[in-house]
A and B are shown apart, each in its own frame.
Chain A
Amino acid sequence: MGLAYKFDWSVLWREPYGEWMLQGIWLTLQLGFLAWIIALSLGVFLGTMRAAPWKLLRWVSTIYVEVFRNVPFLVQLFFWFYAGPMIFGKTLQFKINAISGLNYYAAVVGLGLYTASRVAEHVRAGFASIGQGQYQAVLSTGMTQWQMYWHVMIPHALRLVIPPMTTEFLTIFKNSSVAMTIGVAETTFMSYKIDSDTFHGLEATTGAMFVYLVLGMAVVKTMSYFEKKFRIHGLVGR
């Protein structure tokens, strides 16, 4: 009795489900790329702050990283989407809630802020792996502290962290699936929606798995290109 299930793989391409899947994939790509812009810029900024010589800056970024890393992303997303508009007070709250596609913006910002904390950790580790000797050598050439950061330390650290960034860039697409919980119609949401329409969720989710698989392989290929292009000559094992 158990295996009396009749597979119907056509839910992946027949009208209108094929179109749903394509729309979902398009939204997954949007979420991933837009959130990545936030995550990369804020994460590099925060990670650099953690290597800064001022205690206050280090404290601020440490607190940010600890808070965002130790709270589940789902909880963060719900906080931004449900509680976020309330922070601005009653009158503004209703205006914000009236914005169409609010869940989409909440997902992009939430995913970006969350991933920024992970990026910051990698950047901090990158700075930590650059020896103290280099800092001193750079300062002795007469560069100011700002010049040292801008021209030497940041470019060096960023090149060192390209491999872990590949992992983060992969993770951002995987984590974007959590946006379905606030109704953003990305790939996972669409596969679930196909289930509620056809009761063929198994085929739909299996199809979605292969979407993420192909996406992941594409990211790895692209990033290994960047890794080769920006490699630091003379470093072993890169």
Chain B
Amino acid sequence: MFDAIINNLPYLLKGFLINLELAICALAGGIFLGILVGLGRISKNVWVYHSVTLYVNFIRNIPLILVIFWFYFIMPILVGKPLNPFISAAISFVVFEATYFGEIFRAGFQSISRDLVSAAYSTGLTSTQTARYILVPIAIRRMLPSMITQSIITFQDTSLAYVIGLQELVRRTTIVDGMEVRSIQLYSFVAALFFVICFVGSRISRYYEMKSREANIL
């Protein structure tokens, strides 16, 4: 009954590995760019603020699939040759996810009150010490749950790279299903793989949320 899965297991799991790799690239780039976006969204420089806000509001209103296609079409024009779908997908994910992470960072930065900074200074801490021991730990604790949730969403979204022919899990599953015609088993298997990782992730996120709510000092 599960022959279709067992016989093609290495092939399918190799596809799942591509999803994981893509998610790691997307998260590394998306979080780094997201920090810059978050800083831009609280910037006092009008030009920086408005251009970053425009970028965020534009991307957040557009489906990810369309962003994936758009980069898939524009990259060959800029580079001059067709790009590997993995790189093309990774670029679109970084540009897309950075706007979502940027909003998480903005909320995190804004949640720290000025009084807290003044209080830290008044105890004699230097500005580096204030950042190191007060601001960064509190901001991270506050942002961690939503960052984990967004990482889970990013991981699920990697399946959409299917549309530009990347050989990830879903693409490989359609190929296997085309030969074996075991749709129920195959798609349940794919769903279960994603479910396990995302469910565990969402529990970890909830754990940190509860913990930071218990330790609700501010």
Q: Is B58 an interface residue (CB 8 A)?
A: yes
Top 10 nearest A-B pairs (CB, nearest first) are: A70-B198, A83-B183, A177-B63, A216-B61, A72-B156, A2-B80, A82-B183, A201-B73, A79-B187, A174-B63
**Which bracket fits the contact residues of A?**
35 or more
Q: Is A227 an interface residue (CB 8 A)?
A: no
- Residue with the greatest number of chain B CB neighbours at <10 A, chosen from A67, A71, A72, A195: A72
Given contacts A67-B195, A76-B191, A83-B188, contact A178 B160 (CB under 8 A): yes
Q: Which of B35-43, B64-72, B111-119, B134-142 contacts its partner?
A: B64-72
CA distance A212 to B199 in the complex (A): 31
Q: Is the interface of A mostly helix, strand, loop or mixed?
A: helix
Q: Give A218 Cβ to nearest chain B Cβ, in Å.
A: 11
* Complex interface bits, B174-218 against A, C-beta within 8 A gives 1, otherwise 0: 100100000110111011001100110010000000000000000
* Complex interface bits, B122-159 against A, C-beta within 8 A gives 1, otherwise 0: 00000000000000000000000000000010001101
Q: Which of A43-51, A141-149, A202-210 contacts its partner?
A: A202-210
Given contacts A71-B198, A188-B65, contact A86 B183 (CB under 8 A): yes
Q: Is A161 an interface residue (CB 8 A)?
A: no
Nearest neighbor of B173 in chain A, beta-carbon distance? A78
Q: Is A197 an interface residue (CB 8 A)?
A: no
Given contacts A71-B195, A78-B187, contact A191 B66 (CB under 8 A): yes
Nearest neighbor of A180 in chain B, beta-carbon distance? B65
Chain A residues near B77: list those with CB within 8 A. Answer: 2-3, 5, 202
CA distance A177 to B66 in the complex (A): 8
Chain A residues near B198: list those with CB within 8 A. Answer: 69-71
B202 touches A70 (CB 8 A): yes
Q: Is A75 an interface residue (CB 8 A)?
A: yes
> B70, B80, B202: which contacts A205 (Cβ < 8 A)?
B70
CA distance A129 to B154 in the complex (A): 28
Q: Is B163 an interface residue (CB 8 A)?
A: yes
CA distance A202 to B61 in the complex (A): 18
Chain A residues near B157: list those with CB within 8 A. Answer: 72
> A83, A86, A181: which contacts B162 (Cβ < 8 A)?
A181
Q: Is B6 an interface residue (CB 8 A)?
A: no
Chain A residues near B177: list those with CB within 8 A. Answer: 82
* Complex interface bits, A203-234 against B, C-beta within 8 A gives 1, otherwise 0: 00110110011001100000000000000000
Q: Is B62 an interface residue (CB 8 A)?
A: yes
A and B contact pairs by CB, cutoff 8 A, 7 listed = A5-B77, A79-B188, A87-B184, A177-B66, A178-B160, A188-B69, A209-B70
Q: Is A170 an interface residue (CB 8 A)?
A: yes
CA distance A105 to B183 in the complex (A): 18
Chain A residues near B162: list those with CB within 8 A. Answer: 74, 181
Nearest neighbor of B69 in chain A, beta-carbon distance? A205
**Measuring CB to CB, which residues of chain B are less than 8 angstroms from any residue of chain A?**
58, 61-66, 69-70, 72-74, 77-80, 152, 156-157, 159-160, 162-163, 170, 173-174, 177, 183-184, 186-188, 190-191, 194-195, 198-199, 202
- Which residues from 55 to 81 on chain A have a C-beta closer than 8 Å to any C-beta of chain B? 66-67, 69-76, 78-79
Q: Is A175 an interface residue (CB 8 A)?
A: yes
Nearest neighbor of A178 in chain B, beta-carbon distance? B65
Chain B residues near A82: list those with CB within 8 A. Answer: 177, 183, 187
A212 touches B62 (CB 8 A): yes
Chain A residues near B188: list those with CB within 8 A. Answer: 79, 83
Chain B residues near A178: list those with CB within 8 A. Answer: 63, 65, 160
A213 touches B199 (CB 8 A): no
- Residue with the greatest number of chain A CB neighbours at <10 A, chosen from B80, B157, B159: B159
CA distance A204 to B152 in the complex (A): 31
